[in-house]
Amino acid sequence: MRFLALLTSAGINIGLCALFLMLYSILRKQPGNVNVYFGRRLAEAASRRSNSFSFERFVPSPSWIVKALEYKEEEILAAAGLDAVVFLRLIVFSLRIFSIAAVACVFGILPLNYFGQEIKHKRFSSESLDVFTISNVKEGSDWFWVHCLALYIISISACILLYIEYKSIARMRLVHITQDPNPSHFTVLVRSIPKSDEESYDDSVRNFFQKYHASSYLSHQIIYKTGKVQKIMTNAEKVYKKFVLLKASAIGKKCIPAVYRCGLCGAAPNTIQLYHNEIELSKKTDLDHSNSIRREKECSAAFVFFKTRYAAVVVSDVLQSSNPMSWVTDLAPEPHDVYWSNLWLPYRQLWIRRIATLLASIVFMLLFLIPVTFVQSLSQLDQLQQRFPFLRGILKKTFVSEIVTGYLPSVILQLFLYSVPPIMMLFSTLEGPISHSARKKSAASKVLYFTIWNVFFVNVFSGSVISQLNVISSPKGIPTQLAKAVPRQATLFITYVLTSGWASLSSEVLQLFPLIWNLLKRYIFRINNEQYSVPSFPYHTEVPKVLLIGLLGFTCSILAPLILPFLLVYFFLCYVVYRNQILNVYCSKYETGGCMWPIMHNTTIFSLVLSQIIALGVFGLKRSPVAAGFMIPLVILTLLFNEYCRKRFHPIFKSLSAVDLIEMDQQDELCGRMEEIHCRLHFAYRQRLPDDKDFCQGECSGSHELHEKEEDSQIIQVINSKSDKSEANNDGGQVGQVGNNKDCYKQSEKIIPIL
């Protein structure tokens, strides 16, 4: 690929980006799109739309950028929660580390690479991009210490920055935990309650906790079977019962059937009568009937509430029974975070589900090689021309060939990649997590592994040494193979940053799919209801994207420093766009308290070590044993640093510390708030059951997925009805002050008793 091709690609992308952003700045001002671009704000406060026409609405303006940058971290923390802040921190960290890398590499390494060999440089614009990579430095050069030093600077500053981030995020997490009384801190999810013939699960739970944790046990709430399969089964059961009822009443009225006479093969004479009687009884005592159904639908899981936070954590941490497969306890997720339709899954299945989904993900990853290989072939023009001779005419045109090599591959790859997050989300759901956030976290790591494997490794290797999977079978050769392949593929990665990075950001800000759906709804289907579902932030797609770009940055920084300016632009755009989206579009329904950070930290360390190993291979290939030798302590130090962080910080992200909990408990006791908290606990976790209206005292609403959306819509409806009294806001976006997320919940509490 030539320098000009890169510029073409960059030009197209900058154009597209500018266009999208301009479009956004116009579209966001249209009142019809307010639910697309300000879903979060709608949920928080109201904005009465003025449909009045003004010319200003159609003039692109960069004011939203300024607005997005205006907010302080504390305000975002208050508005969108810790998870959002952690995600923004990742972007800030990337900006910082790649600024350092850019200074070190563009001024130190780029000239070295360019003047590395005494070749005649062509006209700058038609120069091959390879002259900017490390492959242009001649073998055994004395200047490799500069590359070595640059990598040391990058690694050490990355470690320092990571440490600072980890520390401050851990501190923020502690503050977040100790901030407000959270019902999940008082609640333990008990699964795999042993079945007994004598007592129901309800009684089992009560007896168990009254016997062994009498001093701290408050109450409990059994979980009933829900989910789609259960719904079908319930319906089938109902139909069956009606059928039996019909038949029985028919029998009761008419005659004794023929089978009755046969004492050997037929039913015993009193069976049918008994059954009949049973039905009679059940008809009479509706209460008993509903009780028995309830007992049938009870599943071996329950939320158990405790008097103090410490007691709950103790019960969740300590092995309860001498059979580790029964009385399994975990701290409950937040009420909004509970993934109800997975709670009834038998605990004994979970380990095998986990293994099965792991295998399925691996198979999916390998199957995905097919489109990737196709994409790879596009970047090699001559191969393409051989395979499709009729294209030869078109491909001879410079502009077309530049588009095909520089732009098309990553667009196609991008389109294929769109299918990955939903599939991984499906796998994560099948795994049986108990909370939405755990499901999203699991999906995020799956997508992350997937993208790193399929975008980085497969692209690197299929283009060079092997199209098949030979490389995994010889781990010793990996550094050398990587060293050969990565510089060669550096240009592909630069275009990847341009297309996947920039373009996906602008499509993110434009919210293409919701926008189209909104337009369709309003102008084609003519649906004009006020119920909007506010999406929660898609961490499982966005975190892997940002981390992958970071990986490309680290691995390419000293090999092909030309990637760094593009990266910096990308991360700056990221910063602006995601701030805007977090503040305006997405609603944070639940909090993990920054639990995504360890994934981000580990991936960054992986990227660092990978880039060091590649550098080791490159220095080896370039016959610079000293520089290669200096890489080994760097790898070891980076791994030791990671190990230290894992010891020092990771436990905080896995469980809560006794000291903090006890202090919170003591404070609440002193303030006399405990009683109030206990009262609220009983309403915190309420399961909506699909059909049996006797079960839930409150309103029932369809299946679980629906229920959540409906809840949001109810919130919005109430806010809307309130908003009539509030001031109209013509800006269309900056609705009042940044509301507090908790206020939003408190408002909702008045309508639906959810904490």
Q: How far apart are CA 740 and CA 667, in angstroms?
A: 24
Q: Which is nearer to a second copy, 367 or 659 (CB)?
A: 659
Q: Which is nearer to a second copy, 312 or 420 (CB)?
A: 312
Sign, Cα dihedral of 239, 240, 241, 245: positive
The stretch near a second copy (CB under 8 A) out of 117-125, 475-483, 557-565, 683-691 is: 475-483
Q: Which is nearer to a second copy, 59 or 164 (CB)?
A: 164
Cβ atoms of 43 and 583 closer than 8 Å = no
User: Taking the complex as a whole, how short is the minimal distance between the CB of residue 188 and a second copy, in angstroms?
Assistant: 12
Q: How far apart are CA 390 and CA 392, in angstroms?
A: 5
Q: How far apart are CA 446 and CA 429, in angstroms?
A: 12
Binding mask 118-157 for a second copy (x = CB under 8 A): ----------------------------------------
User: Taking the complex as a whole, how short is the minimal distance between the CB of residue 469 and a second copy, in angstroms?
Assistant: 9
Q: How far apart are CA 69 and CA 671, in angstroms?
A: 39
DSSP state of 2: B
- The answer to whether 643 contacts a second copy (rule: CB under 8 A) is yes
User: Taking the complex as a whole, how short is the minimal distance between the CB of residue 645 and a second copy, in angstroms?
Assistant: 11
Q: Which is nearer to a second copy, 254 or 654 (CB)?
A: 654
Q: Which is nearer to a second copy, 170 or 546 (CB)?
A: 170
The phi-psi region of residue 445 (left if phi > 0; otherwise alpha if psi is between -120 and 50; otherwise beta) is alpha
Closest CA to 577 of 505, 646, 664, 481: 505
- The answer to whether 357 contacts a second copy (rule: CB under 8 A) is no
- The answer to whether 174 contacts a second copy (rule: CB under 8 A) is yes
Q: Which is nearer to a second copy, 477 or 535 (CB)?
A: 477
Cβ atoms of 591 and 334 closer than 8 Å = yes
- The answer to whether 207 contacts a second copy (rule: CB under 8 A) is no
Q: Within 334-473, where are the H helices?
A: 340-343, 347-367, 369-378, 381-387, 392-395, 398-406, 408-417, 420-430, 436-451, 458-462
- The answer to whether 325 contacts a second copy (rule: CB under 8 A) is yes
The stretch near a second copy (CB under 8 A) out of 41-49, 300-308, 641-649, 738-746 is: 641-649
What residues numbered 560-599 form the site for a second copy, per CB under 8 A? Answer: none
Residues 477, 538, 620, 739: which binds a second copy (CB under 8 A)? 477
User: Taking the complex as a whole, how short is the minimal distance between the CB of residue 323 and a second copy, in angstroms?
Assistant: 8
Which tokens go with 304?
A: 């158990």
What residues numbered 415-474 form the site for a second copy, per CB under 8 A? Answer: 472-474
User: Taking the complex as a whole, how short is the minimal distance between the CB of residue 637 and a second copy, in angstroms?
Assistant: 12
What residues numbered 520-539 form the site for a second copy, per CB under 8 A? Answer: none
Q: Which is nearer to a second copy, 144 or 209 (CB)?
A: 209
Q: Which is nearer to a second copy, 650 or 680 (CB)?
A: 650
Residues 160, 236, 259, 355: which binds a second copy (CB under 8 A)? 355
Helical (H) or strand (E) element with 705: helix 704-723
* All residues at 6 or more sequence positions from 628 whose CB lies less than 8 Å from its CB, including other chains: 616, 619, 620
- The answer to whether 60 contacts a second copy (rule: CB under 8 A) is no
Q: Report how many residues bind a second copy under the rule CB under 8 A.
A: 41
How do beta strands 328-331 and 298-306 pair?
Answer: unpaired
List, as one string, the DSSP characters of 402-421. HHHHHTHHHHHHHHHHTTHH
- The answer to whether 637 contacts a second copy (rule: CB under 8 A) is no
Q: How far apart are CA 380 and CA 360, in angstroms?
A: 32
Phi, psi of 299 (to 5 degrees): -115, 170
Cβ atoms of 151 and 138 closer than 8 Å = no
- State the amino acid at position 111 in one-letter form: P
The stretch near a second copy (CB under 8 A) out of 124-132, 388-396, 519-527, 643-651 is: 643-651
Q: How far apart are CA 687 and CA 517, in angstroms?
A: 31
The stretch near a second copy (CB under 8 A) out of 335-343, 350-358, 367-375, 420-428 is: 350-358
Q: Which is nearer to a second copy, 51 or 473 (CB)?
A: 473
For the stretch 11-20, what's the b/e string if a residue is b when 16 or more beta carbons lie within 10 angstroms of its beta carbon? ebbeebbeeb
Q: Which is nearer to a second copy, 657 or 721 (CB)?
A: 657
Max CA pair span of the chain: 107
Q: Which is nearer to a second copy, 352 or 679 (CB)?
A: 352
Q: How far apart are CA 119 and CA 381, in angstroms?
A: 25
- The answer to whether 620 contacts a second copy (rule: CB under 8 A) is no
Which tokens go with 502?
A: 């920039």
- The answer to whether 476 contacts a second copy (rule: CB under 8 A) is yes
User: Taking the complex as a whole, how short is the minimal distance between the CB of residue 167 and a second copy, in angstroms?
Assistant: 11
Q: Which is nearer to a second copy, 633 or 651 (CB)?
A: 651
What residues numbered 303-322 form the site for a second copy, per CB under 8 A? Answer: 313-315, 317-322
Q: Within 431-538, where are the H helices?
A: 436-451, 458-462, 478-496, 504-510, 512-519
The torsion defined by the Cα of 343, 349, 350 and 351, in degrees rounded to 10, comes to 170
Binding mask 645-664 for a second copy (x = CB under 8 A): --xxxxxx--xxxxxx-x--
- Residue showing tokens 């990579």: 133
Q: How far apart are CA 323 and CA 107, in angstroms?
A: 63
Q: Which is nearer to a second copy, 58 or 644 (CB)?
A: 644
User: Taking the complex as a whole, how short is the minimal distance between the CB of residue 685 and a second copy, in angstroms?
Assistant: 23
User: Taking the complex as a whole, how short is the minimal distance between the CB of residue 650 and a second copy, in angstroms?
Assistant: 8
Q: How far apart are CA 139 and CA 714, in angstroms?
A: 69
User: Taking the complex as a whole, how short is the minimal distance between the CB of residue 651 and a second copy, in angstroms?
Assistant: 4
Q: Which is nearer to a second copy, 311 or 552 (CB)?
A: 311
Q: Which is nearer to a second copy, 329 or 445 (CB)?
A: 329
User: Taking the complex as a whole, how short is the minimal distance between the CB of residue 662 and a second copy, in angstroms?
Assistant: 5
Phi, psi of 105 (to 5 degrees): -90, -40
Residues 262, 352, 370, 671: which binds a second copy (CB under 8 A)? 352
Residues 15, 252, 257, 324: which binds a second copy (CB under 8 A)? 324
- Residue showing tokens 């404070």: 667
Residues 640, 706, 728, 751: which binds a second copy (CB under 8 A)? 640
Q: Which is nearer to a second copy, 643 or 676 (CB)?
A: 643
User: Taking the complex as a whole, how short is the minimal distance between the CB of residue 649 and a second copy, in angstroms?
Assistant: 7
- Residue showing tokens 């502009």: 399
Q: What is the strand order of the sheet 187-191 is part of?
A: 217-224, 298-306, 187-191, 328-331
* All residues at 6 or more sequence positions from 433 whose CB lies less than 8 Å from its CB, including other chains: 339, 342, 439, 442
Q: Which is nearer to a second copy, 258 or 318 (CB)?
A: 318
Q: List residues binding a second copy (CB under 8 A).
A: 170, 174, 212, 313-315, 317-325, 327, 351-352, 355, 472-477, 640, 643-644, 647-652, 655-660, 662
